[in-house]
Chains A and B, each alone.
Chain A
Amino acid sequence: MKPTIGEHVFQAILVLSISLLCIATIYPFLHIASVSLSSPSEASRFGFHLYPREIDFFAWNQVLSQTKIWTGFGNSVFRTVVGTLLTLVAMSLCAYPLSRKYLPHRSFYTMIILFTMFFGGGIIPTYLLMKWLHLMNSVWVYVVPGLVPTFSMLVLRNFFMGIPTELEESAKIDGANDIRILFSIILPLSKPVLATLALWTAVGHWNSWFDAVLYITDQNKQVLQFFLREIVITNTDAETFGRTVVGNLKYAPAIKAATIMFAALPILIIYPFLQKYFVKGTMIGSLKG
């Protein structure tokens, strides 16, 4: 069937409105990127910034030469790498037993865990618990309290339940115990879903900031998002705005923009390559189990 004129007009309207949405999505990132590379007068110019008209690297220099930015970066990388690895191990250790139908009292243990998804103590009792556990000002507060994300663990459990049992039965006859079966049979078969869950966890860790606000006062243990908040949102960062007052204040818009870009870059860089895994994961997660 040949498209009619009406169809052409309709398609044109669709393309136009979806394009507008895409521009509205991507433009703010371009704007911040070009402001971060602009001279002070250009950075504070009222209007659109698609590309830097007067290039000035001072703001980036300023941001990248700050020790705290690198401290934050290091701590963020630490929590992302260590946190993701430990979460994968802990999730597997929890999901595998719960996925075995012959686990005694399986539904009881599942209920105990499921209950925590619907009811919790709330932020104040959690805060007092962290104090009591001496996790205040310890980098482990980034990793341990969120060790097992319950929803992701259930996604993994559902995946394990779908693996045919014949494989593990023959391994059992050969004398392998459950721990060996998990690590040498089940986990290698689950690589795609583990990759997706690792991505979710890693992005979550990179983006976390509230636990840092709550539990960490030691500047050497702060994460990048926390310093970003200080510099961009609460404007409480003395180092950035206080050092050479006149020189830096006029650079404030560019410095803020450069800090935002610095924190956004890791995700912007990996996104094009890993996009399909993120999307796949959503579909796994939407399966009811």
Chain B
Amino acid sequence: MSQTNSGIANIAQIENGSVAKKPPKWKHTWKEYKKNKYLFFMLIPVLVWYGIFHYGPMYGVQLAFKDFSPIKGIWGSDWIGMEHFKFLFYQSPDFARIFRNTILISLYNIIFGFPAPIILALMLNELRYKLFKRFAQSISYIPHFFSWVILSGIIVVMLSPSEGPVNYIIKLFGGEPIYFLADTDYFRPTLVVTSIWKEIGWGTIIYLAALSGIDPTLYEAATIDGANRWKRIRHITIPSILPVVSIMFILSLGGILNAGFDQIFNLYSPAVYEVADVIDTYVYRAGIQQSQFGLTTAVGLFKNVIGIMLVLGTNYVMKKMGQEGVL
């Protein structure tokens, strides 16, 4: 609409041979705003809210380059340049550890946790008993709806070396009780297994939707041509859900610096900090509990910048692959 208007104005300009006839642009814009003033009555409070609660914290990011003093405040504190980052990369005893733990836990979650719902969805899809299928789906969604506080409480009991049923089974088979949550060898696998337990059912929804969209005549034709089950799965089912799988995979790569704060924070203890402490848990302990605001803001900024680079990178890859990007 506005384009056609300016087009007409342009033609008018050429005909009259002067610029003066065209109303100034701001006047036109002002008119548009006035016409839609009720829309702005609605939008402005929310924009103000975004300004305070989302852009407000961004103002505080300057602390990453400052020596924060509570008396001087954020603005008044002295600039120290890249000191915090230099400390993190060259001197901090913790940074390499938390970075390594974050990446490793995320990678394990992707390697083992990513295929899990796909496999379950394929299994559910092959089931002939529809009622059982629906029942199994309803059951498998349940843990998704609980906070990690509740689930951790449950997991601690399940894995307890003296009371838990998991160690009971291990003992039945003649093994020694395992301290899953206090043993540095077992803590990360426990994280991976428990997050699969929480999300495997819920994760199937998107794949089952893709599976239900496959044309059944494809299977009929393949069966007549003599394709057995594995051939049908390999040549029809898997190629049909591959686009969804690749989108989900790339999205999960974008979140690689989020190793699962809620889960780790509620399950870890000083005994396993060596393998369990990740960026977010470190920021909480060093920042909030020990008031190292400048240093931990720098850690947070580092994480955010890597995060946004990953999002842009994966978005680029998605578009290259012919998929729709997220941006």
Contacts and interface: CB of A to CB of B under 8 A. Distances in A.
Contacts of A179: 38, 41-42
Given A18-B136, A282-B205, A124 B127 contact: no
B57 A109 contact: no
B32 interface: yes
Give chain A's interface residue range (CB within 8 Å of chain B). 35 or more
Given A18-B123, A122-B283, A210-B262, A147 B38 contact: no
B140 A25 contact: yes
Contacts of A278: 141, 145
A41 to B, nearest CB: 12
Given A123-B300, A275-B138, A21 B120 contact: yes
Contact of A209 (B42, B129, B147, B156): B147
A90 B311 CA distance: 27
Contacts of B301: 122
Given A29-B142, A233-B149, A125 B63 contact: yes
Interface stretch (B11-19, B45-53, B92-100, B101-109): B45-53
A93 B266 contact: no
Interface footprint category on B: 35 or more
A122 B57 contact: yes
Contact of A124 (B54, B63, B150): B63
A162 interface: no
Contacts of A264: 146, 150
A48 interface: yes
A182 B42 contact: yes
Interface stretch (B157-165, B183-191, B234-242, B270-278): B157-165
Contacts of A271: 142, 145
Nearest to B58: A121
Interface in B220-274: 223, 229, 261-262, 265-266
Interface string A30-52: 01100100000000111111000
B127 A148 contact: no
A28 B198 CA distance: 12
Nearest to A153: B46
B141 A275 contact: yes
A2 interface: no
A123 B50 contact: no
Given A118-B308, A128-B293, A46 B1 contact: no
Interface string B70-103: 0000100000000000000000000000000000
A253 B157 CA distance: 9
B150 A98 contact: no
Given A145-B53, A177-B38, A93 B59 contact: no
Contacts of A286: 206, 209
A179 B32 CA distance: 17
Given A47-B168, A48-B165, A260 B39 contact: no
Interface string A113-142: 110101111111111110001000000000
Contacts of B43: 93-94, 97-98, 103, 109
B118 interface: no
A171 interface: no
Contact of A96 (B42, B128, B155, B168): B42
A97 B300 contact: no
A31 B50 contact: no
Contact of A119 (B39, B58, B284): B58
A120 B46 contact: no
A173 interface: no
B143 interface: yes
Given A15-B127, A104-B32, A232 B56 contact: no
B165 A31 contact: yes
Given A18-B136, A178-B42, A260-B153, A122 B297 contact: yes
A119 B304 contact: yes
A1 B167 CA distance: 47
A288 interface: yes
A71 to B, nearest CB: 17
Nearest to B60: A125
A257 B157 contact: yes
A153 to B, nearest CB: 9
B33 interface: yes
Given A22-B136, A25-B139, A121-B57, A260 B154 contact: yes
Interface in B174-220: 197, 200-202, 205-206, 209
B115 interface: no
Contacts of B38: 177-179
A238 interface: no
Contact of B200 (A21, A49, A182, A232): A21
A189 interface: no
A286 to B, nearest CB: 6
18 contacts: A14-B127, A18-B127, A21-B136, A21-B140, A27-B165, A48-B165, A102-B36, A104-B29, A121-B60, A121-B61, A124-B60, A125-B297, A209-B149, A233-B156, A253-B163, A271-B142, A282-B205, A288-B324
What are the 4 closest A-B residue pairs judged by CB atoms, nearest first? Answer: A121-B57, A125-B60, A122-B300, A207-B147
